[in-house]
Amino acid sequence: MTAARAVTTTPKRRGAVSRGDGQPPSAPLELTLQAEDYLKAIYELEREGDAAGTNALADRLDIAAASVSGMLQRLARLGLVKTERYHGTRLTAAGRAVALQLIRRHRIIESYLVARLGFAWDDVHDEAERLEHAASPQLIEAMARVLGNPTADPHGAPIPTASGEIAERELASLAALDVGASARVAGVNGRDPRLLRYLGERGIRPGVKVRIESREPFDGPIVVTVGREKQAISPGAAAHVRVEPKAP
Protein backbone atom coordinates (compact mmCIF):
# COMPACT_ATOMS: atom_id res chain seq x y z
CA MET A 1 0.00 0.00 0.00
CA THR A 2 1.27 3.46 -0.85
CA ALA A 3 1.78 6.44 1.38
CA ALA A 4 -1.21 8.31 2.75
CA ARG A 5 -0.73 11.65 4.40
CA ALA A 6 -2.87 12.05 7.46
CA VAL A 7 -4.23 15.58 7.30
CA THR A 8 -4.72 16.73 10.86
CA THR A 9 -8.29 18.05 10.98
CA THR A 10 -9.08 18.91 14.59
CA PRO A 11 -9.78 15.59 16.24
CA LYS A 12 -11.86 15.49 19.39
CA ARG A 13 -10.51 15.74 22.92
CA ARG A 14 -9.13 12.44 24.15
CA GLY A 15 -7.44 10.70 27.06
CA ALA A 16 -8.83 12.84 29.82
CA VAL A 17 -11.17 11.49 32.43
CA SER A 18 -14.44 13.35 32.07
CA ARG A 19 -16.12 13.58 35.41
CA GLY A 20 -19.31 14.96 33.97
CA ASP A 21 -19.08 18.28 35.73
CA GLY A 22 -20.30 20.41 32.89
CA GLN A 23 -18.81 23.87 33.25
CA PRO A 24 -20.10 25.60 30.11
CA PRO A 25 -18.93 29.12 30.99
CA SER A 26 -15.12 28.96 31.07
CA ALA A 27 -12.37 26.37 31.14
CA PRO A 28 -13.18 22.68 30.62
CA LEU A 29 -9.75 21.71 32.04
CA GLU A 30 -10.00 17.96 31.81
CA LEU A 31 -6.95 16.32 33.21
CA THR A 32 -5.79 12.79 32.88
CA LEU A 33 -5.65 10.64 35.94
CA GLN A 34 -1.88 10.75 35.81
CA ALA A 35 -1.72 14.52 35.66
CA GLU A 36 -3.97 14.65 38.70
CA ASP A 37 -1.66 12.32 40.60
CA TYR A 38 1.30 14.51 39.82
CA LEU A 39 -0.46 17.61 41.06
CA LYS A 40 -1.41 15.97 44.32
CA ALA A 41 2.11 14.70 44.84
CA ILE A 42 3.57 18.13 44.13
CA TYR A 43 1.19 19.65 46.62
CA GLU A 44 2.27 17.24 49.30
CA LEU A 45 5.96 17.66 48.61
CA GLU A 46 5.64 21.42 48.64
CA ARG A 47 4.07 21.17 52.07
CA GLU A 48 6.87 18.99 53.35
CA GLY A 49 9.55 21.40 52.30
CA ASP A 50 10.09 23.76 49.47
CA ALA A 51 9.59 23.30 45.76
CA ALA A 52 9.03 19.67 44.78
CA GLY A 53 12.15 18.03 43.41
CA THR A 54 11.99 15.84 40.36
CA ASN A 55 13.54 12.85 42.07
CA ALA A 56 11.34 13.19 45.12
CA LEU A 57 8.33 13.20 42.83
CA ALA A 58 9.65 10.26 40.87
CA ASP A 59 10.14 8.40 44.12
CA ARG A 60 6.69 9.12 45.44
CA LEU A 61 4.94 8.27 42.19
CA ASP A 62 7.17 5.30 41.47
CA ILE A 63 8.00 6.61 38.04
CA ALA A 64 11.40 7.19 36.43
CA ALA A 65 12.77 10.68 36.96
CA ALA A 66 13.04 11.21 33.22
CA SER A 67 9.33 10.58 32.80
CA VAL A 68 8.59 13.04 35.55
CA SER A 69 10.62 15.70 33.79
CA GLY A 70 8.53 15.22 30.70
CA MET A 71 5.24 15.36 32.53
CA LEU A 72 6.25 18.49 34.40
CA GLN A 73 6.81 20.23 31.11
CA ARG A 74 3.32 19.24 30.02
CA LEU A 75 1.82 20.47 33.27
CA ALA A 76 3.75 23.71 32.92
CA ARG A 77 2.34 24.12 29.41
CA LEU A 78 -1.13 23.77 30.94
CA GLY A 79 -0.35 26.47 33.47
CA LEU A 80 -0.72 24.16 36.45
CA VAL A 81 2.86 24.25 37.67
CA LYS A 82 5.85 26.50 37.43
CA THR A 83 9.14 24.71 37.03
CA GLU A 84 12.43 26.42 37.67
CA ARG A 85 14.87 24.47 35.52
CA TYR A 86 17.03 22.28 37.80
CA HIS A 87 15.41 23.83 40.88
CA GLY A 88 12.13 22.14 41.50
CA THR A 89 8.48 22.68 40.75
CA ARG A 90 5.66 24.55 42.46
CA LEU A 91 1.97 24.60 41.81
CA THR A 92 0.35 27.67 40.33
CA ALA A 93 -2.91 28.86 41.83
CA ALA A 94 -4.76 26.80 39.23
CA GLY A 95 -2.70 23.73 40.01
CA ARG A 96 -3.21 24.15 43.73
CA ALA A 97 -6.96 24.40 43.23
CA VAL A 98 -6.96 21.09 41.38
CA ALA A 99 -4.80 19.45 44.04
CA LEU A 100 -7.03 20.66 46.84
CA GLN A 101 -10.13 19.36 45.13
CA LEU A 102 -8.45 15.99 44.76
CA ILE A 103 -7.47 15.98 48.39
CA ARG A 104 -11.01 16.89 49.34
CA ARG A 105 -12.33 14.03 47.24
CA HIS A 106 -9.80 11.65 48.67
CA ARG A 107 -10.50 12.46 52.27
CA ILE A 108 -14.26 12.51 51.94
CA ILE A 109 -14.16 9.16 50.20
CA GLU A 110 -11.96 7.73 52.94
CA SER A 111 -14.31 9.07 55.58
CA TYR A 112 -17.32 7.65 53.81
CA LEU A 113 -15.82 4.22 53.35
CA VAL A 114 -15.02 3.98 57.04
CA ALA A 115 -18.27 5.47 58.31
CA ARG A 116 -20.75 3.85 55.96
CA LEU A 117 -19.22 0.83 54.33
CA GLY A 118 -17.35 -0.84 57.13
CA PHE A 119 -13.83 -0.29 55.84
CA ALA A 120 -10.92 -0.27 58.27
CA TRP A 121 -9.14 3.07 58.59
CA ASP A 122 -5.92 1.47 57.42
CA ASP A 123 -7.51 -0.02 54.32
CA VAL A 124 -9.09 2.93 52.57
CA HIS A 125 -6.16 4.74 51.03
CA ASP A 126 -5.84 2.77 47.80
CA GLU A 127 -9.56 2.65 47.22
CA ALA A 128 -9.82 6.42 47.66
CA GLU A 129 -6.81 6.90 45.44
CA ARG A 130 -8.70 5.31 42.57
CA LEU A 131 -12.14 6.69 43.27
CA GLU A 132 -11.00 10.28 43.65
CA HIS A 133 -10.39 10.44 39.91
CA ALA A 134 -13.78 9.05 38.99
CA ALA A 135 -16.16 10.64 41.47
CA SER A 136 -18.19 13.62 40.29
CA PRO A 137 -18.55 16.72 42.45
CA GLN A 138 -22.17 15.73 43.03
CA LEU A 139 -21.14 12.38 44.44
CA ILE A 140 -18.53 13.93 46.70
CA GLU A 141 -20.97 16.48 48.02
CA ALA A 142 -23.62 13.82 48.53
CA MET A 143 -21.15 11.79 50.61
CA ALA A 144 -20.11 14.84 52.58
CA ARG A 145 -23.74 15.70 53.27
CA VAL A 146 -24.55 12.21 54.49
CA LEU A 147 -21.58 12.40 56.86
CA GLY A 148 -22.55 15.86 58.13
CA ASN A 149 -19.74 17.66 56.31
CA PRO A 150 -16.80 16.25 58.22
CA THR A 151 -13.69 18.41 58.64
CA ALA A 152 -11.14 15.63 59.12
CA ASP A 153 -10.66 12.22 57.58
CA PRO A 154 -10.13 8.93 59.46
CA HIS A 155 -6.38 9.57 59.65
CA GLY A 156 -6.97 12.95 61.22
CA ALA A 157 -6.08 14.99 58.16
CA PRO A 158 -8.17 18.10 57.54
CA ILE A 159 -10.60 18.07 54.62
CA PRO A 160 -10.47 21.09 52.33
CA THR A 161 -13.79 22.85 51.76
CA ALA A 162 -15.57 22.69 48.42
CA SER A 163 -14.16 26.13 47.66
CA GLY A 164 -10.64 24.92 48.31
CA GLU A 165 -9.80 26.18 51.77
CA ILE A 166 -7.88 23.93 54.09
CA ALA A 167 -7.19 24.34 57.79
CA GLU A 168 -3.56 23.34 57.89
CA ARG A 169 -2.48 23.00 61.47
CA GLU A 170 1.06 23.51 62.65
CA LEU A 171 2.17 19.96 63.11
CA ALA A 172 5.39 18.28 64.05
CA SER A 173 6.56 14.78 63.42
CA LEU A 174 6.61 12.42 66.38
CA ALA A 175 10.19 11.66 65.46
CA ALA A 176 11.15 15.30 65.98
CA LEU A 177 9.85 15.72 69.53
CA ASP A 178 12.21 16.09 72.45
CA VAL A 179 12.42 13.53 75.21
CA GLY A 180 9.87 14.40 77.86
CA ALA A 181 7.56 16.25 75.49
CA SER A 182 3.86 15.49 75.30
CA ALA A 183 1.67 15.78 72.22
CA ARG A 184 -1.66 14.82 70.73
CA VAL A 185 -1.60 12.62 67.66
CA ALA A 186 -3.17 14.59 64.82
CA GLY A 187 -2.85 12.00 62.14
CA VAL A 188 -0.67 9.52 60.38
CA ASN A 189 0.83 10.13 56.98
CA GLY A 190 1.33 7.32 54.68
CA ARG A 191 0.04 5.09 52.05
CA ASP A 192 1.29 1.83 53.49
CA PRO A 193 -1.58 -0.03 55.18
CA ARG A 194 0.89 -2.19 57.12
CA LEU A 195 2.36 0.86 58.78
CA LEU A 196 -1.08 2.20 59.62
CA ARG A 197 -2.17 -1.12 61.06
CA TYR A 198 1.08 -1.46 62.99
CA LEU A 199 0.67 1.94 64.57
CA GLY A 200 -3.03 1.45 65.15
CA GLU A 201 -2.41 -1.79 67.01
CA ARG A 202 -0.05 0.06 69.31
CA GLY A 203 -2.75 2.62 70.06
CA ILE A 204 -1.25 5.36 67.91
CA ARG A 205 -4.36 6.88 66.35
CA PRO A 206 -5.67 10.39 65.80
CA GLY A 207 -6.69 12.07 69.05
CA VAL A 208 -4.50 9.98 71.35
CA LYS A 209 -2.04 11.61 73.78
CA VAL A 210 1.58 10.52 73.66
CA ARG A 211 4.71 11.35 75.67
CA ILE A 212 8.27 10.73 74.58
CA GLU A 213 10.03 8.70 77.24
CA SER A 214 13.40 8.17 75.66
CA ARG A 215 15.17 7.80 72.38
CA GLU A 216 18.13 5.61 71.64
CA PRO A 217 21.12 6.88 69.69
CA PHE A 218 22.18 5.64 66.24
CA ASP A 219 18.62 5.72 64.92
CA GLY A 220 17.49 3.51 67.74
CA PRO A 221 13.90 3.14 68.85
CA ILE A 222 11.82 5.91 70.36
CA VAL A 223 9.93 4.93 73.48
CA VAL A 224 6.58 6.64 73.88
CA THR A 225 3.82 6.36 76.43
CA VAL A 226 0.46 5.77 74.77
CA GLY A 227 -2.42 5.61 77.19
CA ARG A 228 -0.91 3.66 80.07
CA GLU A 229 1.41 1.54 77.96
CA LYS A 230 4.92 2.16 76.69
CA GLN A 231 5.70 1.46 73.06
CA ALA A 232 9.06 1.37 71.34
CA ILE A 233 8.86 2.34 67.68
CA SER A 234 11.42 3.05 65.01
CA PRO A 235 12.25 6.61 64.00
CA GLY A 236 11.15 5.68 60.48
CA ALA A 237 7.67 4.83 61.64
CA ALA A 238 7.57 7.78 64.03
CA ALA A 239 8.37 10.14 61.20
CA HIS A 240 4.97 9.38 59.69
CA VAL A 241 3.09 10.32 62.84
CA ARG A 242 2.00 13.95 62.81
CA VAL A 243 1.49 15.42 66.25
CA GLU A 244 0.25 18.63 67.79
CA PRO A 245 2.81 19.54 70.47
CA LYS A 246 1.40 20.42 73.90
CA ALA A 247 2.58 22.15 77.04
CA PRO A 248 3.85 19.49 79.47
Residues that bind a copy of itself (CB under 8 A): 17-20, 113, 116-119, 126-127, 130-131, 133-136, 138-139, 142-143, 145-146
User: How far is Cα 78 from Cα 97, in angstroms, rounded to an integer?
Assistant: 14
Is 55 or 149 the residue whose CB approaches DNA more closely? 55
- CA torsion, points 70, 71, 74, 78, in degrees to nearest 10? -160
Which residues are within 8 A (CB) of 64 and not within 5 positions of it... i.e. 6 or more apart?
Answer: 58
Is 19 or 74 the residue whose CB approaches a copy of itself more closely? 19
Which does residue 56 bind out of a copy of itself, DNA, none, counting CB within 5 to 8 angstroms by kind?
DNA
Is 136 or 151 the residue whose CB approaches a copy of itself more closely? 136
> Does residue 83 interact with DNA by CB under 7 A?
yes
Q: How far is the CB of 96 from a copy of itself (least distance, A)?
A: 24
What letters, b where the CB count within 10 A reaches 16 and e where it falls short, cover 127-149? ebbebbbebeeebbeebbeeeee
> Does residue 99 interact with DNA by CB under 7 A?
no
Q: Are 156 and 189 in contact (CB under 8 A)?
A: no
Task: Provide Rg for the chain, Cα atoms.
Answer: 21
How many residues sit in the footprint of DNA (CB under 7 A)? 39
> Does residue 39 interact with DNA by CB under 7 A?
no
| Positions that interact with DNA (CB under 7 A) | 1-9, 11-12, 14-15, 32-35, 53-56, 62-74, 83, 85-88
